[in-house]
Amino acid sequence: MACFFRRRIAEKLGRTLQQSEDVFIPALTAIPVLKKQQSADFRLAVGPLRSCGILPSTGDIQLQTEHLAAQLKQDGVVEDVSAASGMIHFKVNRTLLAEKILEPFKDGDGDNFGLDSELLNCFPRGTTLVEYSSPNIAKKFHAGHLRSTIIGNFIANLKESLGNKVIRMNYLGDWGMQFGLLGAGFGQFGCAEKLKQNPLQHLFEVYVRVNKEAEHNEDVDRAARDFFRQLEQHESEAVSLWRRFREITVNEYRRVYERLGVGFDVYCGESFHQRGAHEVVQQLQSRGLLKTSEKGTGVVDLSPQGDMSSVSTLLRSDGTSLYITRDIAAAIDRKEKYHFDEMIYVTDKSQEKHFHQLFQILLTMGHSWVKRCRHVPFGLVRGMKTRTGEVVFLEDVLDEARARMLHNMSQTNTTKEMEHPADTAEKVGMSALLVQDFKGPLLSDYKFDWDRMLQAQGDTGVFLQYTHARLCSLIRRSEGVEGATFDPSLLPEQTGVFILQHLLRYDEILCHSAQDLQPRHLVNFSLKLCHLVASAHRELPVKGSPQNVAQARLRLFAAARSVLAHAMRILGISPVDRM
């Protein structure tokens, strides 16, 4: 594996430069396969060795690189050492490369491949709380909620694979004036039957209607305020209606999340933290940190000069709490309940300031653990529409993805033999949706495009699934070929070497992902792997090759399938076996 080679090269460097080998481990990187050009396997930049004093920082860097390369003799593992513009390149023995990379796939899936790398040791393995999705009851589930759902799920999967204990949390918008309106309007516009049949849709309809009504009808507006006040005062009738709305909504979401392959350990929400919010206010008051503004609101001064030039409002003039007040209480409560070592919030970038202020206030209150809280922001999605129009519910997007994919699949032959085409279409459609979303930096906005994302060729989630299914089919068809013996010297072709070199990078990719929590590293790694596999399919036939060659090739394909499936699962895609 990558570690074996990195360690050997580091030892060599350590001996030559009389340093501890450990300093070279993170500095050695596997060389990416580019445009199918042959290359060495690892490289080391000489510049950083000069800046940290391992090499003299004066003199011509190219000469120094060449000199160092000449000092590093080849051996049984490292076959060639060369200098190239400020870099030392290391080429390892080809047979050993195949042997070490493919060893973990001997019997089984090599599940730990890449994860047992020493590069990942620098990440603490504690409890991670990831809060994501967090839609608002009776309101639209917009593209931002979809993004939060899939990004949060990816982060939770990643942390879990890295060995962390993960708590997946959904923080529902289950409090606020919308319940006043719903409560006031349900008697007039609500229908128990519709609520049963299509709860999300019906609650949304009632909410939209009563909202409109309240705009010009003061009685409705008053009734809504009244209802919300009853709720805040825990009057039992109001609370029981609220509870019913919340319960059916959660049940409905659970079902839809399941289709997406997403789950939560905890469903909580803003409603849980009203009392806590008032305690927070009291605490800040007693410590003199809560000021009263001219408007009569309660604010915390966040300006560095202490001149109130930047404040955060925690209390309305009527004494009710706000979104941020509940968030402060929620964070403290989570720390006490779950003892997390880190907490990650996933929302769109419009809430960056909110989380910045939240963290600042928690720090002011003396909660130093907030330094291990992080907001992962993402950009906007433009044009997410279905055939019937604007998206209001998550399920509309899932249905559309499945229908479109089913249509595309029906144009090919294999679908006819499939047992559960709708199921496969759903998984492939999800994959398409995710890859479109995950390909670029999360902070970038992007335009939603059904046709482009569902293309079978090109860098799409369909292509990932197609490649995985094709590898599965190859493995199925070669049953009986896989034997006990495996001769790594039978994979000398460059096409195969490219795949091995690419697999060599997997631990670095996981490492980058763990650092910045961006899914694009894994997406691009997987897409590249699929392109390399496509060439190998053409050039390295299993069928018709001598038994021992067929065995070696099959092992290579099995490893590629396994790593591809592993990467897909972290991204939140369930790989299909046929399509």
Q: Which residues bind ligand ARG (CB under 6 A)?
A: 131, 134, 136, 171, 173, 327, 345, 347
CB of 347 to ligand ARG, least distance (A): 5
CB of 345 to ligand ARG, least distance (A): 6
Nearer to ligand ARG, 90 or 345 (CB): 345
Render the burial of 311-328: b for 16+ CB within 10 Å, e for the rest.
Answer: bbbbbeeeeebbebbbbb
The arrangement of strands across the sheet holding 127-131 comes to 266-269, 165-172, 127-131, 342-348, 373-378
Nearer to ligand ARG, 348 or 395 (CB): 348
CB of 316 to ligand ARG, least distance (A): 18
CB–CB of 55/64 below 8 Å? yes
Options 139, 291, 367, 528, the catalytic residue: 139
Nearer to ligand ARG, 322 or 534 (CB): 322
CB of 355 to ligand ARG, least distance (A): 8
φ/ψ of 140, rounded to 5, equals -65, 140
Options 12, 89, 100, 142, the catalytic residue: 142
DSSP string computed for 402-460: HHHHHHHHHTSSGGGG-S-HHHHHHHHHHHHHHHHHHSS-TTS-EE--HHHHT-SSSSS
CB of 244 to ligand ARG, least distance (A): 20
Nearer to ligand ARG, 170 or 513 (CB): 170
Identify whether 375 is a catalytic site residue: no
- CA–CA distance, 272 with 266 (Å, rounded to integer): 12
Identify whether 145 is a catalytic site residue: yes
DSSP string computed for 466-533: HHHHHHHHHHHHTTTT--S---GGG--SHHHHHHHHHHTTHHHHHHHHHHH--THHHHHHHHHHHHHH
**Number of residues assigned to the chain:** 579
List the one residue out of 387, 439, 461, 385 whose CA is nearest residue 142: 385
Identify whether 142 is a catalytic site residue: yes
Nearer to ligand ARG, 101 or 362 (CB): 362
Nearer to ligand ARG, 327 or 508 (CB): 327
Options 100, 140, 145, 375, the catalytic residue: 145
CB of 334 to ligand ARG, least distance (A): 10
Distances in Å between the Cα of 50 and the Cα atoms of 29, 54, 59 are 18, 6, 10
Nearer to ligand ARG, 213 or 327 (CB): 327
CB of 343 to ligand ARG, least distance (A): 10
- CA–CA distance, 208 with 203 (Å, rounded to integer): 9
- CA–CA distance, 223 with 221 (Å, rounded to integer): 5
Residues tagged active-site: 139, 142, 145
